[in-house]
């Protein structure tokens, strides 16, 4: 029996200063897969028109039984997924 994992990616935008716009964006090493467990590495690609990205607020939700982890304030995160289902990752990136 093959177990399917699907990673859904969602990016949010954070506006920090009146004249500064941050575009939150990220990529993942995988978006679906069958290995059990599946290691997902997510890398920030956010940009700011008037500053430097200094804060990353990552959140992840998943299927029933998945405990949402607490991620550090960093531009790259990883998570091992061992429950089949759909996962949503959000990023709020803010500049200085």
Q: Whole-prediction pTM value?
A: 0.76
SS3 77: strand
| Beta strands 85-95; 5-9: pairing state | parallel
Contact 38, 81 (CB under 8 A): yes
Closest among 67, 68, 48 to 59, alpha carbons compared = 68
Q: CA-to-CA distance for 65 and 83, rounded, in angstroms?
A: 8
Residue 6 has pLDDT above 60, yes or no: no
Q: 33-67 pLDDT, tens per residue?
A: 887 788 999 999 998 888 889 999 999 988 999 99
């Amino acid at each position: 029996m093959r177990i399917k994992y699907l990673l859904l990616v969602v990016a949010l935008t954070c506006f920090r200063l009146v004249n500064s716009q941050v575009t939150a964006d990220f990529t993942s090493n995988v978006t679906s897969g069958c290995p059990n467990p599946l290691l997902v590495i997510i890398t920030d690609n956010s940009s700011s028109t008037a500053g430097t990205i200094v804060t990353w607020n990552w959140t992840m939700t998943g299927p029933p039984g998945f405990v949402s982890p607490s991620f550090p304030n960093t531009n790259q995160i990883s998570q091992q997924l061992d429950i089949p289902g759909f996962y949503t990752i959000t990023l709020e990136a803010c500049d200085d």
